[in-house]
Amino acid sequence: MLTAVLLVCLLVAFAFGAPVGLGLGGIAMAVGYLTWGEGIFNIIPSTIDSTYFSFILLAIPLYIYMGQLLTRSGIGDAMFNASQLIIGRVRGSLAISVIGVCSMIGAMVGIIGAGIMTSGSIALKPMLERGYDRRLALGVIMAGGGLGILIPPSVPMIMFASATQNSVGRMFIAALVPAAISIVCLALYVIISCRLNPERAPLGTGDEMKMTPKQKVLTLRDGLFSVLLIFAVLGSIISGIATPTESGAIGVIGAIILAILFKRFKLSMFRHAGFETAILISVAMWIIFGATLFSNFHLLMGVQDMVASFTQDLGLPPLGVIIMMQLIMILLGFIIDEFIIVLMCAPLFTPIAVSLGYDPIWFGILMILNIEIAVQTPPYGFALFYLKGIAPPGVTMSDIYRSVLPFIGIKLAVLILCMLVPELVLWLPNKIMG
């Protein structure tokens, strides 16, 4: 009942064009005041604690800043220029390089917001400048950025493993094959879609083709250094120099050093990057704050008990139960973020799945694949708002909605594939870890 009231208010406020974070917070506090009383306002300090004081979320500003520095210094472009020099004759090749870069970013970050906003900062401009179809470009960023929680390290996977007492290492390894399948499917979609609609991805007839040999060498050198920066950041994680969150700061320092080396460092560039980052951080954090307030109010009113009783005693066959759980998680994606979905659903659902004879690691990977979809399903998903935040002016919410649809289809296909063929998930960890 309350859920229905909240969702109706939410839809009205969104239809009227309320700023997302402020609207969510305002509705929670208004409905809360009417149903609970003034006491509900005390939910604010605890919510501030779990949002503004979350070290995990610190990855968002650090990675956005790195992305902004790479873009504004032209280093990010250099990476794509170089890739175009090499594979520019293949239609859609830029989008494919973007998927490659997003996968590497996915390997650096462990949360969705940082994945999408970093990928968007670096890769959106080069695609749009070369005349790529706007929807294709946005969709590729969304799909690629979402890989952040599927490619290890991944914070939701750590949370799942802990909540259900499973091995994190096993989860990480089990995610590799589904991640590879996702990447290949995304690339295939881009190639096929560009074959069918050539106007969506102009061929690389740009400046790269008219370059002198010396310019070509320089372009390749710059591109190589930019890719090296990404490997350096990854290396700092793998070699134990920094945690995934901190590695964003390593990336910032690396980007500044590269810009100075390439003589592209200008104080104004530095200032603009900080300025743009500050606005993006504010936008992202006010959404996270308002949305967390909304979901905390919902949880205090007991939405979790509803979910628990709903899943029990439905009298479905085993696979039906699994499918029902997937549907519930996608629906939950409408109102709560990736961490809370795991915190709530992992302990609720996993024992049921195990009692039905399913492997918990397999179920965990399905959950991660599901969350990737849930947070970018229209009309209301965190990832959609992150993408809008990073998109150039003039991109409307309907552009965003339409751009993500085919990619949601692909991710859904991967989810269903892994659901039907558990070996895709379990083969590698069983092979490596026994």
> Of residues 116-145, which lie at the interface with other proteins (CB under 8 A)?
none
Torsion region of 357: left, alpha or beta (phi above 0 gives left; psi -120 to 50 gives alpha): left
CB of 372 to other proteins, least distance (A): 18
Q: Which of residues 312-371 bind other proteins (CB under 8 A)?
A: 339-340, 343-344, 346-348, 350-351
CB of 320 to other proteins, least distance (A): 22
Q: Which of 212, 309, 312, 398 binds other proteins (CB under 8 A)?
A: 398
Q: What is the DSSP string of 175-189?
A: THHHHHHHHHHHHHH
Q: Residue 149: enclosing H or E segment and its boundaries? A: none
Is 242 a binder of other proteins (CB under 8 A)? yes
Find which of other proteins, Na ion, none residue 182 binds, CB within 5 to 8 Å per kind. Answer: none
Nearer to other proteins, 36 or 87 (CB): 36
Find which of other proteins, Na ion, none residue 78 binds, CB within 5 to 8 Å per kind. Answer: none
CB of 296 to Na ion, least distance (A): 18
Nearer to other proteins, 205 or 396 (CB): 396
SS3 per-residue string spanning 87-135: HCCCCCHHHHHHHHHHHHHHHHCCCHHHHHHHHHHHHHHHHHHCCCCHH
Structure tokens at 284: 């992202």
- The amino acid at residue 355 is S
Nearer to other proteins, 161 or 190 (CB): 161
By CB under 5 A, name the binding residues for Na ion.
110, 148, 151, 154, 333-334, 377, 381
Find which of Na ion, other proteins, none residue 173 binds, CB within 5 to 8 Å per kind. Answer: none
Nearer to other proteins, 57 or 98 (CB): 57
Query: Which residue matches tokens 């400048």?
Result: 129
153 preceded by a cis bond (ω within 30 of 0)? yes
Nearer to Na ion, 29 or 175 (CB): 175
Closest CA to 190 of 136, 128, 141: 136
CA distance 404 to 32: 33
- Interface mask (CB under 8 A) for other proteins, residues 37-76, using x and -? --xxxxxxxxxxxx-xxxxxxx--xx--x-----------
Is 296 a binder of other proteins (CB under 8 A)? yes
CB of 199 to Na ion, least distance (A): 31
Nearer to other proteins, 205 or 282 (CB): 282
CB of 336 to Na ion, least distance (A): 9
Q: Which of 84, 119, 193, 304 binds other proteins (CB under 8 A)?
A: 304
CA distance 369 to 154: 12
C-alpha to C-alpha distances, 418 to 175, 260, 366, 382, nearest whole angstrom: 11, 46, 7, 24
CA distance 44 to 395: 32
Residue 363: exposed, middle, or buried by beta-carbon count in 10 A (0-12, 13-18, 19+)?
A: buried
Is 13 a binder of other proteins (CB under 8 A)? yes
Phi, psi (5° rounding) for residue 410?
-65, -45
Q: Which of 237, 258, 353, 375 binds other proteins (CB under 8 A)?
A: 237
- Using the contact rule CB under 8 A, the part of the chain among 71-79, 81-89, 232-240, 326-334 near other proteins is 232-240
- Using the contact rule CB under 8 A, the part of the chain among 123-131, 185-193, 326-334, 381-389 near other proteins is 381-389
Strands (E), 262-415: none
CB of 195 to other proteins, least distance (A): 31
Nearer to other proteins, 111 or 414 (CB): 111
Nearer to other proteins, 30 or 260 (CB): 30
Cα 402 versus chain centre, distance:
17
Q: Is the Cβ–Cβ distance between 113 and 57 less than 8 Å? A: yes
